Structure 1
Amino acid sequence: MIFVMVQIAGTIVAPEEPRNWDPKNPRIWIVFSNLEGARIQGGGVIDGSGSKWWAASCKINKTNPCRGAPTAMTIDSSSKVRVKGLTIQSAQQMHFTISRSVAIRISGVRVDSPPDSPNTDGIHISESTDISIQNCRIGTGDDCISIVNASSNIKMKNIDCGPGHGISIGSLGKDNSVGIVTGIVLDTATLTGTTNGLRIKTWQGGSGYVRSVRFENVKMDDVENPIIIDQFYCDSPTVCKNKTEAVKISQVIYRNISGTSRTSKAMKFACSDTVPCSNIVLNNINLERENGTAETYCNCAMGFDYGFVRPAADCLRNDDSSRCSGGSENNNRKHGQVNTEL
C-alpha cells in the first residue's frame, strides 16, 4: 500500500461562471477516488464560488430548470481515509460527499455557506459504512449532515450545526426505491436557528428500513422542528400521491435533548398508517417554546418515554393501534422489546 498525504494549506477557488464548467464533469469538482490509507489535511480552504450556481437554481427561481450542480469535494470508493482541519465554503451544491467508502474519519472540518444557498448539504454520506465525523462546525442552506441509502455504522460527535436544515437521515424511498440505514449515533451536538433538528425523512411508496438510531446530548436553540420523523416527505413541485408502502422506522432513541422550539410541535412523529414507526424511545427530553406551549404530535408512532419528558409524549403509548397496521407491535417496555443501549 502506498501512503498518500494531500496537504491543502492555501485556498483552492472554483471558476465562478457555470458556463465555464467542464460539461464532462457536471456534478463533481475535487474528487479523491480509490484511495486507501490517505490523509487529507493542512488547514486550507476549498471555495466553490457557488453564488451564480445558486442564482440559477429552480429552488431560488421557479422559472429556472432544475439541474444538478457540482459537489465541492468528494471521497469515493475509498477506505481508511482521514480528513482533518479543512474549510469547505460556498459550494456549488453539496459541500462534501462520502460515497461507496469504508472507514473514513472526518475531524475539525468547517463548512460555511449562507442559509439561502440551495441544496448545499454540509456532509453527505451514501453507500458507506464505518464513518466517523467529529468536532465539526457546519453552517449551510440545507442539511448539516445527511445520511442516505445503504449507509451503516455512522458516528457523529461534537457537531455544531447552524444555519441549516439539521441532522437528517434521508430522504429515503423516493420513486418506490429501497432505503436501508442502520447503526447511526449522534452524541453531543448544538443546533442553532435550524429549520429542523433531528430528522428522519422518507417518501411514501418506498421500502426497506431505518433502525438502531441514537440521538443523545443535543442542545437546541430556536429550532423550528427539534425532533421530527416524517414518512410523508414530498420535495416535489406536484402533490405526492398517497401510497401504502413505506420505509420501516424502528429502534430510535432520543436521550438528553433540551432547548427551544420555534413552533408548537416540538416533537413530531408523522408515521405511515400501514407501516407505523415502532420502538421510539424518549428519555430526558426538555423542549420548550419561548412564546406559547410546545406539544408532541403522533400519527401511527409507538414506543415509550421515561425520565423527565417535556412536552409529554403520551401519544406514543396511546396512538390508535386499531387504525395503524402493525399496531400489535405496541412497544410497551415491559415486553422487553426495546434495547435502550443501541
Structure 2
Amino acid sequence: MLVSFYLAIALLEASVVFAAPSSLEDLLSPRSVVSKRPSHPIAPKHLGHQFPTSPNRTKTCYVPSYGNGKDDSANILESIKQCNNGGHVVFDRNNKYTVATALDLTFLKHVDLDIQGTIQFSNDTDYWQKNAFDQVFQNATTFFQLGGEDVNVYGGGTLDGNGQVWYDLYAKDIYILRPILFGTIGLKGGSIADINMRYSPQWYNLVANSTDVVFSNITISGASSSANPAKNTDGWDTYRSSNIVIQNSHIDNGDDCVSFKPNSTDMIVQNLYCNGSHGISVGSLGQYIGEVDIVKNIYVYNISMSDASDGARIKVWPGISSALSGDLQGGGGSGAVSNITYDTMALSNVDYAIEITQCYGQKNLTLCNQFPSNLTISDITVKHFTGTTSKKYDPLVGYLVCSSPTVCSDITIEDITVKSPTGNNGYQCGSISGIETQVNCTKTT
C-alpha cells in the first residue's frame, strides 16, 4: 500500500511541474482542473488563409502565488520557462496573482497559458513609467510583452490593469506614459480567447509585429469610479501585423473599439458588441513625416455599436503639422488605405454612422485643403448599416470629407438606412468625387 502511494506521487511529479519546491501537502491539495484549449472557428468570414496548427501540450506547470499583493512575477516567469516548448501553464482559479515587475515573454514557443485566476498589475505608477516596455508607436508602453511562436492564452480568468490610479494621474498630467494591458508583440501563430480584461490604464490590446493570431470571446470593461474618465482605452490597436482575426467579443470602453494602425493588413473583425467607443477605426494614419503607412485588405462584419462617437471611421492626418491635443500631434506622413469593407452594422445613439476624414487633428479645413494629405484613400465599401444616430449632429448622420479628390477615390456607400433622431439622413461631404450620388449631401465643404 505504501509503495503504491509513493509510486502515485512519483507519477504525479513526472507530469506536473511547480515553480518552487512543494511539500507533499501542496501536491495533494486541490487545484484547478486544466482547461481544455477552446475551439473558436473563424466564422462566418474567413481570410482564406491557413492558420498554423498548435500541437497538444505534454506537461503541466502550476504557478504558485504568494497572495496579499506580493509580487508573483518571479514565480510566473519560472513556471513559464519550465513549461516552455510543449507545456501548459496554469494560473489557479483560486489565486490572485500580483505582477509588479515588467515581464518580457517574447521567447515563448509551443506553450499554453491557462489563466483561470486573476492577474493584477501593481499600482506603482513611478515604477511602470520607468520600466514598462517601450513599443515605439505613439509613445505606447506595455506592462508585459508576449511573443514567440505557437502561443495560446485562455482559461476564463481576468487581467486587471489597476487603472483607477492611472485615470486620476492622467487628469493631472497628460504626458505620463500609461501602460497597455496586453501586449502581443512579435507573436507568430497563436490565440487569445475566453479572457476578461479590466481597467487598463490606456489601450487594452496592442498587437504589433505579429501574424496568424486569433482573438475570440474577450470581454473588455473598466469605467472610472472618480470624476476622471478612463481615456484612450482602445479595445485593440494593430500595428505592423497581418492575418489577425478579432471576433465574438464584448467591449465597453472609451475610445476606438478596434483601431487599425500603420501597416495593418489582411484582417477580419466580426461579431463584436461595442459600447461607449469611437467606432471601428482605420487610423489614425499619416502622423509621422518620413513614415509610410499602409492599411489594406480589412473586412469588418456584423458589429453592434451603441453610445459611440462613430460607427465606421477612417482618420488620416493632413499634409501639414497639426495638433489634436497636447499629447497627440502629427501630419505629413504618406501611405495608402485600400480595400476596406464595413459590412453590416447596427447602430444606436452613435454620433456619426460613417466618418471619413483626411483632416484629422486640423480644425482649419481651408488649411487642410491647401496641404492635402500625402496618404491616399481608395477602394472603400460601407454597406448594410441600420439604426439611429445621437442628437449631437442632427440632422447629419455622417461626415465624408477628404482633403482633395486626387487623394481620395472609389468610395462606395450603399444600403444605409440610418436616421437621426429627427428622421433625417444628411451628410457633410467634401472632396470625394461622386459621393453626392450615393448619400444625401446636405452640407458641403
TM-score scaled by length of structure 1: 0.83
Conservation of the 8 A alpha-carbon contact between 1:172 and 1:178: no
Shift of 1:14: 1.1
- Give distance in 2, aligned partners of 1:235 and 1:18: 33
- 2:374 matches 1:270: no
Shift of 1:244: 2.9
Question: 1:194 aligned to 308, 315, 332, which one?
Answer: 308
Conservation of the 8 A alpha-carbon contact between 2:206 and 2:236: yes
Query: Which consecutive unaligned segments of at least 5 residues does structure 2 have?
Result: 1-84, 87-109, 134-140, 320-332
Conservation of the 8 A alpha-carbon contact between 1:151 and 1:181: yes
Spell out the pairing of 1:117-156 with structure 2 (5 A cutoff): 117-156=230-269
- Give distance in 1, aligned partners of 2:285 and 2:302: 25
Q: Deviations over 1:109-161 (max 9, x none)?
A: 11112283111111111000000111011111111111110110110110110
Q: Deviations over 1:204-231 (max 9, x none)?
A: 1231110101101110001011100011
Q: Deviations over 1:59-110 (max 9, x none)?
A: x45xx24122111111111111111100111001111111001111110011
- Give distance in 1, aligned partners of 2:435 and 2:347: 22
Conservation of the 8 A alpha-carbon contact between 2:128 and 2:179: no
Conservation of the 8 A alpha-carbon contact between 1:140 and 1:164: yes
Conservation of the 8 A alpha-carbon contact between 1:218 and 1:256: yes
- 2:213 matches 1:99: no
- 2:24 matches 1:24: no
- Give distance in 2, aligned partners of 1:48 and 1:19: 15
- 2:295 matches 1:295: no
Conservation of the 8 A alpha-carbon contact between 1:281 and 1:305: no
Question: 1:250 aligned to 362, 366, 378, which one?
Answer: 378
- Give distance in 1, aligned partners of 2:297 and 2:311: 19
Secondary structure of 1:189 counterpart: strand
- Give distance in 2, aligned partners of 1:113 and 1:241: 39
- Give distance in 2, aligned partners of 1:117 and 1:254: 30
Question: 1:70 aligned to 179, 187, 195, which one?
Answer: 179
Conservation of the 8 A alpha-carbon contact between 2:305 and 2:350: yes
Question: 1:179 aligned to 293, 310, 317, which one?
Answer: 293
Secondary structure of 1:52 counterpart: helix
Secondary structure of 2:150 counterpart: coil
Aligned to 2:361: 234
Conservation of the 8 A alpha-carbon contact between 1:296 and 1:313: yes
- Give distance in 1, aligned partners of 2:234 and 2:199: 11
Secondary structure of 1:103 counterpart: strand
- 2:55 matches 1:55: no
Secondary structure of 2:167 counterpart: helix
- 2:336 matches 1:214: no
Secondary structure of 1:23 counterpart: helix
Conservation of the 8 A alpha-carbon contact between 2:429 and 2:435: no
Shift of 1:314: 5.3
Shift of 1:173: 0.5
Secondary structure of 1:109 counterpart: strand
Structure-2 change in CA distance of 1:144 and 1:208 (3 Å): same
- 2:203 matches 1:89: no
Secondary structure of 1:258 counterpart: strand
- Give distance in 1, aligned partners of 2:311 and 2:356: 11
- Give distance in 1, aligned partners of 2:402 and 2:366: 16
Query: Which consecutive unaligned segments of at least 5 residues does structure 1 have?
Result: 307-311, 321-342
Secondary structure of 2:126 counterpart: helix
Q: Deviations over 1:173-227 (max 9, x none)?
A: 0133322100010110100101111100010123111010110111000101110
* Matched pairs, number: 308
Aligned to 2:120: 13
Conservation of the 8 A alpha-carbon contact between 2:189 and 2:213: yes
Shift of 1:305: 8.8
Secondary structure of 1:141 counterpart: coil
Secondary structure of 1:302 counterpart: coil
Aligned to 1:225: 352
Shift of 1:6: 0.4
Q: Which amino acid aligns with 1:74?
A: G
- Give distance in 2, aligned partners of 1:300 and 1:9: 52
Q: Which has the higher helix share?
A: 2
Structure-2 change in CA distance of 1:22 and 1:254 (3 Å): closer
Spell out the pairing of 1:102-113 with structure 2 (5 A cutoff): 102-113=211-222
Conservation of the 8 A alpha-carbon contact between 1:114 and 1:163: no
Conservation of the 8 A alpha-carbon contact between 1:261 and 1:294: no
Percent identity of paired positions between Structure 1 and Structure 2? 25
Shift of 1:261: 1.0
Q: Give the alignment's Cα RMSD to 1 decimal.
A: 2.6
Question: 1:114 aligned to 215, 223, 228, which one?
Answer: 223
Shift of 1:29: 1.0
Secondary structure of 1:86 counterpart: strand
- Give distance in 2, aligned partners of 1:151 and 1:240: 30
Conservation of the 8 A alpha-carbon contact between 1:135 and 1:158: yes
- Give distance in 2, aligned partners of 1:202 and 1:99: 20
